[in-house]
Chain A
Amino acid sequence: MGNLIELLLASILNHNIALVYILGMCPLIAISTNVKNAKGMGLAVVFVVTITGIINWPIYALLKSTGTTNLSLLVFIITIAATVQFLEMFLERFIPKLYNAFGIFLPLITVNCVVLAVSLFFVNREYTFAETAVFSFGSAVGWMLAIILVAGIREKMKRQSDVPRGLVGKGIVFIILGILALAFIGFTGIANI
């Protein structure tokens, strides 16, 4: 149990998937223009990443038992696309409130590399089922934390900063991300993976 809590802390803070492993950058940069959208995207990612992590683990176990792990990439990406599609239909039909909150973000998640990366990481690190579930959830929460932090800073900057014109827009996001990543290195030692 203590092991799982440590894994959760590590995946949110010092092994943050966005700021330490540099994953999911395209949506992070594109959607972090305001906090409201960032929150919507973040929640959708937490939802999808946790579910696909949990689904992909038994599928990988099946692939391993039949000796076809070479196909894992192909299988993972199809599972992810199918899960996203299914979730979209399911939410629209049964929980329309949540569906409206996620809006356009749900279909965009298929191309968010966090989703695939979480599946590839649990394979590389040989996690058990419980560890995979905790790690998927933690990584997604870490990503949400990162996008909301960046969005908050960008919102403030838009009003009161004089950014050099070559850096306006996406350029300055890298500098913000760099400073945030430096800060997250400060968490090293809190927990280990």
Chain B
Amino acid sequence: MRWIRIKYTKWYNILKDGISKNNPIVVAVLGICSALAVTNRVENAIAMGLGVTFVVMASSLMISLIRNFIPAKVRMVTYMVVISTFVILFQMFLEAYFPSIAKALGAYVGLIITNCIVMGRAEAFAAKNPVKYSIIDGFASGMGYMLVLVLVASVREILAFGTFLNMNVTPDSWVNWTVMAMAPGGFFVLGLFIWGIRELIKHYETA
């Protein structure tokens, strides 16, 4: 019975929307650059997902804290400075503790700054809502993002290298499908993925 009570709180709704109904990639098609570029291996996808989650949560917290003091005219620049500070923190952390992943991600870690998800959540949610909900919203968006990243990366890594998290999962006769590790593979897998999910949740665009 306790579960039902949790189910109708604002917390639960924000969390659920971030992962399914407002999923940044599938529904809003935001943050695609990094989603495609880093998903050739699962470990890169996890690192990127965690990085984005951290940056969205931290910058939502920060922006929500100072939301009443930011003049409307310079708010974009303020968001940029807050976001890039946390991105630099994450970059230094990766370089110190996971140098091989930092090398594989390369410039894409820095590009979290221009990931529209972070800016989008700051503008659409954190600038108007109290701190505790902003953190949950940031967490949910980050998790929704990471979920898609890891799924796409699993498909691509298995097809392109025959491995999953660097463990061999395919028979010896497996022929690596190299194009899956390159840009076209990313486009196709994500395109089909969006198609599948939209059929599942019955979200159609009229264009």
Neighbour of B33 across the interface among A25, A168, A172, A185, CB < 8 A: A25
Q: Is A59 an interface residue (CB 8 A)?
A: no
Instruction: Assess the A177–B187 pair: CB atoms within 8 A.
Output: yes
Instruction: Assess the A171–B191 pair: CB atoms within 8 A.
Output: yes
Q: Which of B116-130 contact A (CB under 8 A)?
A: 116, 119
How far is B33's CA from A21's CA once the two chains are assembled, in angstroms?
8
Instruction: Assess the B88–A117 pair: CB atoms within 8 A.
Output: no
A-B contacts, CB under 8 A, total: 133
Q: How far is the CB of A167 from chain B (nearest CB, A)?
A: 5
Q: How far is the CB of B88 from chain A (nearest CB, A)?
A: 5
Residues of A in contact (CB 8 Å), total: 46
Q: Is A116 an interface residue (CB 8 A)?
A: yes
Q: Beyond A166-B199, A167-B195, is A77–B80 a contact (Cβ under 8 Å)?
A: yes
Interface of B is mostly: helix
Instruction: Assess the A22–B107 pair: CB atoms within 8 A.
Output: no
Q: How far is the CB of B28 from chain A (nearest CB, A)?
A: 9
Q: Which of B170-190 contact A (CB under 8 A)?
A: 179, 182-188, 190
How far is B198's CA from A165's CA once the two chains are assembled, in angstroms?
9
Chain A residues within an 8 Å CB radius of B199: 166
Q: Is A187 an interface residue (CB 8 A)?
A: no
Q: Is B165 an interface residue (CB 8 A)?
A: no
Chain B residues within an 8 Å CB radius of A158: 207
Chain A residue nearest to B31 in the complex (CB): A26
Instruction: Assess the B198–A113 pair: CB atoms within 8 A.
Output: no
Q: Is A121 an interface residue (CB 8 A)?
A: yes
Q: How far is the CB of B34 from chain A (nearest CB, A)?
A: 8
Chain B residues within an 8 Å CB radius of A112: 114
Neighbour of A78 across the interface among B37, B80, B115, B182, CB < 8 A: B80
Instruction: Assess the B36–A22 pair: CB atoms within 8 A.
Output: yes
Instruction: Assess the B188–A22 pair: CB atoms within 8 A.
Output: no
Q: How far is the CB of B182 from chain A (nearest CB, A)?
A: 7
Q: Beyond A23-B33, A81-B76, is A116–B194 a contact (Cβ under 8 Å)?
A: no
Chain A residues within an 8 Å CB radius of B119: 111
Instruction: Assess the B110–A120 pair: CB atoms within 8 A.
Output: yes
Q: Is B84 an interface residue (CB 8 A)?
A: yes
Across chains A and B, which 3 residue pairs bring their CB atoms closest together, nearest first? A174-B191, A169-B205, A178-B187
What are 15 residue pairs bridging A and B, where the CB atoms are less than 8 Å apart in the complex? A21-B37, A22-B32, A25-B33, A26-B30, A29-B29, A77-B114, A78-B80, A116-B114, A117-B107, A121-B107, A169-B207, A171-B198, A174-B188, A174-B191, A178-B184
Residues of A within 8 A of B (CB): 19-26, 29, 33, 70-71, 73-74, 77-78, 81, 110-113, 115-117, 120-121, 124, 158, 164-175, 177-179, 181-182, 185
| Given A166-B195, A175-B187, A185-B184, 8 new contacts (CB under 8 A) | A19-B183, A24-B33, A26-B30, A78-B77, A78-B80, A168-B207, A171-B198, A185-B183
